[in-house]
Structure 1
């Protein structure tokens, strides 16, 4: 099923939003508890259930770099009772993993993108450079002396890393992939790996205490959470923007009326000031857009991500 088929205007269904009474909705998070995907998913699932007068239950089905949980959603009935909350990494499953039994686009109905946040290029104790130009010069001079820690194959940090290496002409710098942000970051903090493109919130405390040096964030403008950290654009890399984003998907057969109802609810929640404050605690900001806008965003992101993966010769594992 093409993306274009699901592009339709947002329906004003909020007055009848509690039409489905006594409904239990499973929200499958295809990653372990404790990370940003899980935390943001639980924030929205709790609000969605309350607003719709339904019981929304978050179920963590981790494993396979998100594959196990996503497959469960792809095979679920399109009755609105099974949804997935995940991030941009969902789009590139087949490009970075072998034998993926679903199509990340054709087998899912995009429901709502609800939050987004930047990455930060950080260096640990191995890195002596203090500015981005100095870092780039050092990497060009001795690429074998640097490595990038990567939280997961196909994650936005991975794509930003490979794009950065290509941009500055150091494709031979090694990328070391871990199972999650925490172990990757620990090796950077411990001086075992030099650099990382990491989510803002995960590194902010370490930047503030001086354990990590921030060379810039991957957004078009500075973050209100860390206004003293320049963008990488300001630091000398024009148009270098990579934003991690989070959203809801349903099975392919999810009716468009259900998608519209859920999207309207998500938009309403994203506009609540206290939700914006909670998201800020995660280093993100709310996103409120129609299903059609989400579909268009997916198309652009998939094209860019696929191009980066091909150019970097990343092979499925």
Structure 2
């Protein structure tokens, strides 16, 4: 039988047992301004949406979010900065499809693209449009494919740089259209490439976003196809590559928010909730849509990670198959 002394002793232990079983308190976040590293140049097609997201995150969080552009070696310099940042959720990475091909493109990296990052949310996907010089003797995508097949090596295409979204999407098209032989001319961005598409120095470009459609409306280029599987409300009159005979063709660049691996799960969850809250705002969605983005709402860390893995498999295979190199 328990005596009074035993009962008192047991009672004295109860508060300690309760404290031991209580769940750990979620870490306070954010406690200081958040750095959002964009490994692309200021004012570009990745930087603009990143700044919109950062500004709105600063409105829904108790701290402001500051965009920091860190370029160099493609996206390696900026990505490395985040990989080595404190794992507290105060340094984030805003990146694109470029992250999914880091491993196959670079023999050596100062970080692990997979193990060193935790995915927070997929922000959106930006489809691509094939623009062809107006003097090329092909009015439709099937006619263009036939032209390229009949003239291997005669024509060139432009890209925004080796290993970038434009390069990858075009090599995917050439592979899926039967292994077409079309030369590659890389430029320092799509804006630098467009004058040569207009002049006819290069035959075509599969450009990111819908800005190039303005050239098509003026008759300066011919818009052949959009890279979505089905027609999109962003450009409802634009046929898809699938309609043009390239079965299963689909290509986007995409935007994603990440953090250093090891960032506490409650912080990842809180950051994900903040991003989704911003992307639930109709004004934000409208502004991103105007930039050609298909916004992804209610992305989760798990769904973002699964998407990244799928993209890495897809584009890694194309890099190896088409021998894409960054130099």
TM-score (norm 1): 0.90
Does residue 294 of structure 2 align to residue 292 of structure 1? no
User: Which residue of the other structure, out of 304, 317, 325, is the alignment partner of 1:307?
Assistant: 317
Higher relative contact order structure (alpha carbons within 8 Å, sequence separation ≥ 6): 1
Q: Which runs of 5+ in 1 are unaligned?
A: 1-16
Displacement after TM superposition at 1:263 (Å): 0.7
Deviates more, 1:295-304 or 1:227-236: 227-236
1:149 aligns with 2:139: no
Q: In terms of Rg, which structure is larger?
A: 2
1:19 Cα shift? 5.5
Deviation per residue, 1:255-311 (Å, 9 max, x gap)? 111111111111121121111110111111211211100011011111111111111
CA contact (8 A) 1:269 1:275 kept: yes
- Correspondence list, 1:74-113, <5 A: 74-113=83-122
Give the TM-score taking structure 2 as reference length. Answer: 0.87
Tell me, yes or no, if the aligned pair for 1:21 and 1:53 is still in contact at 8 Å: yes
TM superposition shift of 1:144: 2.2
In the aligned structure 2, how far is the partner of 1:283 from the partner of 1:201?
A: 6
Equivalent residue, structure 2, for 1:53:
62
Contact 1:95 1:316 in 2 (8 A): no
Give the SS at the match of 2:68: strand
Task: Provide the rounded CA distance (Å) in 1 between the counterparts of 2:98 and 2:311.
Answer: 10
Give, in angstroms, the shift of residue 234 of structure 1: 1.6
Who is 2:240 aligned against?
231
User: Counterpart of 2:51?
Assistant: 42
Tell me the CA shift for residue 315 of structure 1.
Answer: 3.3
Question: Could you say what secondary structure the match of 2:131 adopts?
Answer: strand
Deviations 1:23-55 (A, max 9, x none): 211111111011121011111111112101211
Deviates more, 1:165-174 or 1:58-67: 165-174
Q: How many residues of Structure 1 are paired with residues of Structure 2 in the alignment? A: 301
Equivalent of 1:268 in 263, 266, 277: 277
1:182 equivalent in alignment to 2:187: no
- CA distance, structure 2, for counterparts of residue 38 and residue 66 of structure 1: 13
Tell me, in whole angstroms, the C-alpha distance in 2 between the residues paired with 1:78 and 1:22.
Answer: 13
Aligned ranges for residues 196-215 of structure 1 at < 5 Å? 196-215=205-224
Structure 2: gaps spanning 5 or more residues: 1-25
- Aligned position for 2:264: 255
Aligned to 2:133: 124
Cα distance in 1 for residues equivalent to 2:100 and 2:179: 26
- List, as ranges, runs of 4+ consecutive aligned residues in structure 1 with deviation greater than 3 Å: 17-22
SS of the aligned residue for 2:139 comes to: coil
